[in-house]
Structure 1
Amino acid sequence: MKHFLLALFLAINTLFAWSQQKQPKLVVGIVVDQMRYDYLTRFWDKFSENGFKKLVTNGFNCEQTHFNYMPTYTAPGHASIYTGTTPANHGIIANNWYEKETKKTIYCTFDETMKSVGSTGNEGQMSPKNLLVTTIADELKTANKTSKVIGISIKDRGAILPAGHQADAAYWFAGEDEGKWISSTYYMQELPKWLNELNQKNTANTYLQQPWQTLLPIHDYTESIADNNPYEEVFDGEKAPIFPHNLPALRKANKNYDLIKTTPFGNTILKELAFEVIKNEQLGKDKITDLLTISFSSTDYIGHQFGPYSVEIQDTYLRLDREIAELLTFLEKQVGENEFLVFLTADHGVADIPQHAIDNKISAGYFDEKKSFKKVNAALFEKFKVENLVANLSNYQLFFNHDLIKEHQLNLIEVENAAVNTMLAQQGISKAVAATSMKSAEFTDKIMGNVQRGFHQVRSGDVLFVLASGWINKWTKKGTTHGSPYNYDTHIPLLWYGTNIKQGVRTEQVAIADIAATLSVLLNIALPSACDGKVIEGLIK
């Protein structure tokens, strides 16, 4: 009893101490789309002293931070970071998913009731309505309505989901022939004056008028494979995936302003937007904590096209390191040293290009979803004599046509089991499980536990499957992707820096949900509604 009372006393004292701490004037949440943890160590010697190195050496580094679900995609990643839970609860099960009720594929942030602001197209028909729980941003706004919350990204989902339901604004980039920052009527009826002025400067055009050359002499990129190799995709109109990339000549064939997304300069224009948001919205200028969420998307576009061992991806991170350094310097001048808190993480990692892995004697391969879809429907027809029992195959899931199952009075579990066995018989699939099992059993091993935590009982499919390690859903042998429950897709950086953050390192594993739980304590606000994360030990002063 004495030990219990002592532990209770210490816990209460700790919570009281946290509640009395100085609050940051501004929290900046940085997500680097597709950043694997090993990029920090591989490129370390080429980083400057004031970017990633400053965050690591002067802040707190959670070295073993992992996503604990699949599929590891952009939308679920951003939602999980800021809600403190997994797709099983927050409902963002993919970037796009098959909706059972309408029998159509929907986009994670699409909202037909909204209109674009700053654009004549439909790129602004967006909102966070599909996000089923609250975010740390929502809890900050609930605690104090005068707190400002703004989300920015090249991608709409990278801006909208982190900022939550009560955000003051979210801005993203409209490409093709527009080349400007836009928003949605969910947040406002017109863009602020300062953003119109920034759009008129059109710095994206300036960057696209020059070639993309390496930041350092190309022979210094010793951490990467040869620049000219058979594994990378080329830009349309380019004969080989090599430096320099002639952006002015490539614009027309690559959808004009869309091209900047697949260059480091997409990160540059986002950094410039961040500066303008902080200045013009007066973030961090009073005692009430504000929140700015920044998601750097170009790292993802470049990673998909060129892969994790390319000169292009290394050059992108060396340049991003300089952008981070500029952002930290700007925050110190604009908000004040020790007056802001920054955390930097990623929404997922990425697999090696399978053909590159195969050529280096690593097990890998390519899975063809279209062929698999036909195979499983053929097998089910042979057994049940009903055509098209599988309505959709996407996001490592099979969705059944339940109307046909009812019409022909089939036993759902028998159909599930037949589909599971058919999937397991296909090369490249390591695991398959029925939704009935997902609902009735608890999986404790890492891989199947990740599958279960990504399974939403209403939105997810009838059979879920996992590809073998190194395998990806892709028909071409150039470029790569992500989505698996394996370490190359789940292990990401988590760096903390600023107000109330200790200098240190945590080597024990941290789950992505722990970010929101830790922020709730640092900001002395309620946990997001479905948050199941834990406060990271040893991080808070």
Structure 2
Amino acid sequence: MAQVPLRSPLPHGASAALLLTLGLLSACASPPATPAKPKLLVFMVVDGLPMRQVLGYRDQLQPDGFRRFLDQGAWFANAHYGHAHTVTAAGHATMLTGAYPQRSGIISNEWVDPKTRGQVYNTMDADYQYIGNPTAPLAGTSPRMLLAETVGDVLRSADPAAKVIGISGKDRGAILPAGHKGTAYMYMGESGQFASSTYYMQSHPAWVQRFNAAKPADAFFGKSWSPVLPEAAYARSVPDGQPWQSNAGNGNRLPAVLGAGMDGPGPRFYGNILPSPYGDELTLAFARAAIEGEALGADASPDILSVSLSSHDYVNHAFGPESRLSHDHVLQLDRHLQAFFQYLDAKLGKGNYMAMLTADHGFADTPEWARTQGRDTARLPGAQLLAFANAGLGKTFGDGPWVTQLSAMGLLFDEALIAARGLRPADVYAEAKRVMLQMPDVAAAYTPDELAGQEPGAPLLEQMRKSWHPERAAPVQVIMKEGRLFGSRPVGSSHGTPYAYDTHVPILAWGPAWVGRGEVAQRVEVADIAPTLAGILGLRVPAQAQGKPLPLPLQRQP
């Protein structure tokens, strides 16, 4: 049998080229390797920051603050809260649980217990006290009121060596994102210190003691809050010193000197740090101390650091988001973020951590200014709502009062009076809804049957359902018309409605290996953050989560 001659070998260079080509083809055919988990997840919240402010000043931002997310990261142009009562505690409870208030139980910052009629604060727990600082009644000292688990809780259940730390100028901004198994530190407005509570530990670790012993808050005494840009750069914003801007605290004009008229640092001065750019600067200094003191991101177990920056909320409440003071505060914060990110780059390395930034709610423009722009706006005191409700119910059922208190967005009734008159509560609730809908400033009102229902409803009903917890919320919920500022504030602005100016917030992410890069235009919700971060960390989704993973740009990139 004739032998088949062997093929002549290829020249050496050609063989190498062929092997290289085959290797590249093989690599292209293989799925991309899953990146390692980030060693540190830095979760950031800017309290009271509407998305319109981030984009409105984009041309004036530093290259590595907010623009790190906008230019180098993934950002969601149409991110909203899905619930109706958009306040600080409800927002902070939603972010890392993925659960709306109907499941988290955090229906507001404070509310009235429908059964006992006692005042409730969202993170109150009389069994625990602040460490080294006085604890006022109803102070936030533990996550007991939170009925949902966070991403950090899931992480620490899966890996007890992982660390989860929450830091904020407000107790609720620290405690709620830290969850049940993390550790929270909050700013003490009377002492200028950061403190935890006895829920977490009996005494502070050495690094916290060193930070507080150095009295870093005192360094801001006599410092001036001055605009970072020339006057012409603020032409798009409302000038200082308007009659509808609060003149308390540090005043309503820049430059403003912290501690002006005071003999030295004390409780009044420490309280005035938060409504200034120095509140965020101090909070980020404590965050750096936590990274160093706890060696965050330094081992094989991923860690979570949640930092909620509270100052912008105070600024917007006092002056309104349309003000030059708020405009400048965003630019000041942008510089603080840039310095913090550059610290993280040097400390951990860019490929070892990811950052995500959001807000707990947006903000309405100040009504008095909005009216100068031709908008239909008004301030609506709660007493006016109560009086209208009782006058209407009195015509049907006789002398009351039938509605005794307001709780968050709801009406609480004199249930004993209802029983004494032989009335069915459902009939009184239905009549209260009818009466409320006759009030010119009311957009919608809902009864317990509607709120507990499962059938699809109008957008406002769906939002209100997500804010309503049957054991904690008042039975009849009321939604004001757009542009109404509900509450007793005579100046400044607020939030708390289901409208876009309060629901539309940033969701910004950076960490190329985990999120990719680019703008996402489709509507997403803040409840989607928790499932997304759980996936990145290789964890199960928190049990009560109602969101879905964000459509990250990374998923669309080849």
Number of the residue aligned with 1:307: 320
Question: Which of 534, 542, 553 is the aligned partner of 1:528?
Answer: 542
Give the structure 2 partner of residue 219 of structure 1.
232
| Residues 510 and 251 of structure 1: CA distance in aligned 2, closer, same or farther (over 3 Å) | farther
Greater Cα offset, 121-130 or 410-419? 121-130
Q: Percent identity?
A: 32
Identify the residue that residue 180 of structure 2 maps to in structure 1.
165
| Match in the other structure for 1:109 | 123
Equivalent residue letter for 1:105: Q
Other-structure match for 2:383: 370
C-alpha deviation, 1:20, in angstroms: 4.4
How much does 1:423 deviate?
Answer: 1.5
What's the CA shift for 1:70? 1.4
Partner of 1:139: 154
Distance 2:552 2:525 in 1: 15
Matched, 1:70 2:84: yes
Q: Distance in 1 between matches of 2:135 and 2:409?
A: 32
Query: Structure 1 19/429 Cα, relative in aligned 2: closer, same or farther at 3 Å?
Result: farther
Counterpart Cα distance in 2 of 1:410 and 1:254: 52
Note the C-alpha offset of 1:286.
Answer: 0.9
Tell me which residue corresponds to 1:13: none
Shift in Å, 1:264:
0.8
Aligned: 1:416 with 2:429? yes
Shift of residue 218, structure 1, vs aligned partner: 2.7
Is the 8 Å Cα contact of residues 174 and 181 (structure 1) preserved in structure 2? Answer: yes
For residues 213 and 130 of structure 1, the distance between their equivalents in structure 2, rounded to whole angstroms, comes to 40
- Structure 1 Cα separation of the partners of residues 154 and 458 of structure 2: 33
2:18 counterpart of 1:21: no
Shift of 1:539: 3.6
Is 2:140–2:171's contact at 8 Å kept on the other side of the alignment? Answer: no
Bigger Cα displacement from structure 2, 467-476 vs 353-362: 467-476
**Equivalent-residue separation in structure 2 for 1:86 and 1:476 (angstroms):** 27
Q: Relative to 1, partners in 2 of residues 1:539 and 1:425: Cα closer, same or farther, differing over 3 Å?
A: same
Alignment of 1:179-328 (within 5 A): 179-236=192-249, 238=251, 241-249=252-260, 255-328=268-341
For the structure 1 residues 236 and 505, does the alpha-carbon distance in structure 2 shift closer, same or farther, using more than 3 Å as the test?
Answer: closer
Rounded to whole Å, the distance in 2 between the matches of 1:78 and 1:161 is: 6
For the residues of structure 2 that align with 1:461 and 1:376, how far apart are their CA atoms? 14
Give the drift of 1:236: 5.0
Please, which moves more after superposition, 107-116 or 384-393? 384-393
CA distance in 1, matches of 2:130, 2:254: 37
Q: 1:12: which partner in 2? A: none
Quote the Cα distance in structure 2 between the aligned partners of 1:386 and 1:88.
34
Any conservation in 2 of the 1:69–1:485 contact (CA below 8 Å)? yes
Measured in 2, the distance between the counterparts of 1:19 and 1:465 equals: 51
Deviations 1:151-208 (A, max 9, x none): 00000000000000011x21001113x1111111000101111111111222222213
Give the structure-1-normalised TM-score: 0.93
Q: How far off is 1:125 after superposition?
A: 5.5
- Measure how far apart 1:381 and its partner are: 3.1
Q: Which amino acid aligns with 2:167?
A: I
Q: Give how far 1:55 is off.
A: 1.4
Q: Structure 2: how far apart are the matches of 1:95 and 1:363? A: 27
Structure of greater Rg: 2
In structure 2, do the counterparts of structure 1 residues 538 and 441 end up closer, same or farther at CA, with 3 Å as the change threshold?
closer
Aligned counterpart, 1:41: 55
Separation in 2, partners of 1:262, 1:335: 31
Change in Cα spacing, 1:74 to 1:476, as seen in structure 2 (3 Å) is closer
Q: Partners of 2:384 and 2:140 in 1: how far apart?
A: 34
Report the alpha carbon displacement of residue 17 of structure 1 after superposing the two structures with TM. 7.5
SS at match of 2:260: helix
**Deviation of 1:477 (Å):** 4.5
2:6 maps to which residue?
none
C-alpha spacing 1:402/1:220, structure 2 compared with 1 (3 Å): same
Amino acid at match of 1:242: R
Alpha-carbon separation, structure 2, partners of 1:99 and 1:43: 42
Please give the root-mean-square deviation of Cα atoms over the aligned residues, in Å. Answer: 2.0
Q: How many angstroms apart in 2 are the aligned matches of 1:25 and 1:260?
A: 32
SS in 2 for 1:466: strand
Tell me which residue corresponds to 2:357.
Answer: 344
Deviates more, 1:404-413 or 1:49-58: 404-413
2:460 aligned with 1:447:
yes
Partners of 2:41 and 2:146 lie apart in 1 by 22
Q: Is the 8 A contact 1:152 1:294 kept in 2?
A: yes
Residues 388 and 439 in structure 2, CA contact (< 8 A), matched pair in contact too: no
Aligned to 1:55: 69
What is the alpha-carbon distance in structure 2 between the residues aligned to residue 86 and residue 37 of structure 1?
20
- Indicate conservation of the 8 Å contact 1:109/1:130, yes or no: yes
One-letter amino acid of the structure 2 residue matched with residue 420 of structure 1: K
**Partner Cα separation in structure 2 for residue 236 and residue 535 of structure 1:** 42
Residues 364, 468 of structure 1: 8 Å contact kept: no
* Contact 2:131–2:195 (CA under 8 A) maintained in structure 1: yes
Specify whether residues 210 and 384 from structure 1 end up closer, same or farther in structure 2 by C-alpha distance, changes over 3 A only: same
Q: Please report how far the alpha carbon of residue 250 of structure 1 lies from its aligned counterpart in structure 2 after TM superposition.
A: 5.5
Distance 1:263 1:271 in 2: 14
Larger CA deviation: 188-197 vs 387-396? 387-396
- Paired with 1:118 and 1:298, the residues of 2 have a C-alpha distance of 24
Residue 19 of structure 1, CA deviation: 9.8
Partner residue of 2:519 out of 505, 508, 523: 505
Contact kept in structure 2, 1:18 and 1:524, CA below 8 Å: no
Structure 1 contact 357–364 (Cα < 8 Å) conserved:
yes
Contact 2:259 2:269 in 1 (8 A): no
Q: Which amino acid in 2 is paired with 1:24? A: P
Q: Could you say what secondary structure the match of 1:500 adopts?
A: helix
2:414 aligned to 401, 410, 413, which one? 401
Change (3 A) 1:443 1:386: farther
Distance 1:251 1:467 in 2: 42
Q: TM-score, normalised by structure 2?
A: 0.90
Structure 2: distance between partners of 1:229 and 1:307: 11
Q: Is the 1:19–1:524 contact (alpha carbons within 8 Å) kept by the matching residues of 2?
A: no
Shift of 1:428: 1.3
Letter in 2 for 1:157: R
Structure 2 Cα separation of the partners of residues 506 and 150 of structure 1: 29
CA distances 1:377-420 after superposition (whole Å, capped 9, x unpaired): 23323322352322311322101222332333211222012211
Partner AA of 2:340 in structure 1: L
Alpha-carbon spacing, 1:413–1:35, altered in 2? closer, same or farther (3 Å): same
Where does the alignment leave 5 or more consecutive residues of structure 1 unmatched? 1-15
- C-alpha distance in structure 1 between counterparts of 2:216 and 2:520, whole Å: 40
1:381 and 2:394 correspond:
yes
CA displacement 1:276-334 (0-9 Å, x = unmatched): 00011000001210000000000000100010111111111111111111111111111
User: What residue identity is the alignment partner of 1:138?
Assistant: D
Structure-2 change in CA distance of 1:476 and 1:195 (3 Å): closer
Residue 528 and residue 360 in structure 1: after superposition, are their counterparts in 2 closer, same or farther (change >3 A)?
same
Secondary structure of 1:83 counterpart: coil
Greater Cα offset, 121-130 or 284-293:
121-130
Report the Cα distance in structure 1 between the residues aligned to 2:258 and 2:491, rounded to whole angstroms: 21
